[in-house]
Amino acid sequence: MGKEYPFSEGTLGGKLAAGTGLSVYCLTCRRRAMLDVAALARRLGPDQPCLHWDLLKIIYCHECRAAGRNDRNLQFTNHAMTPEQRKR
C-alpha cells in the first residue's frame, strides 16, 4: 500500500498491505496479546472487517471465558510496525 488517500485499514487484508499490527487488551483480567494479522487473514479471509465491533464477534479472552467472567470486555489497539517487524 502506498500513499493512497484516504488511508484505510478497514479489513485484515488492508492491515496486511499497510504492514500494521493489532493488539488486544482484556479490561477484565488485564491480559495483553499481539494478534497475528497474517494468521487471522488466512483463517478468516482478507475481506474480514477489522474494526472494534467486528473483532468483538470473533475474538474473546480465553482466561475469562474459562473462569466464567465477561470474555468480550476487550480493547483493540492498532500499531505501526517497523520494517524489521514486517520481515518476521
Q: What is the pLDDT of residues 18-36, one digit of tens each?
A: 888 899 999 999 999 999 9
pLDDT value at 51 more than 80: yes
Q: Rounded to two decimals, what is the model's pTM?
A: 0.80
Quick one: residue 77, left, alpha or beta (phi over 0 = left, psi -120 to 50 = alpha)? beta
Q: What cell does 52 get?
A: 472494534
Element (H, E) at 63: helix 62-67
Give the per-residue pLDDT at 42: 95
| Contact (CB, 8 A) for 28 and 61 | yes
Confidence of residue 80 (pLDDT cuts 50, 70, 90): confident
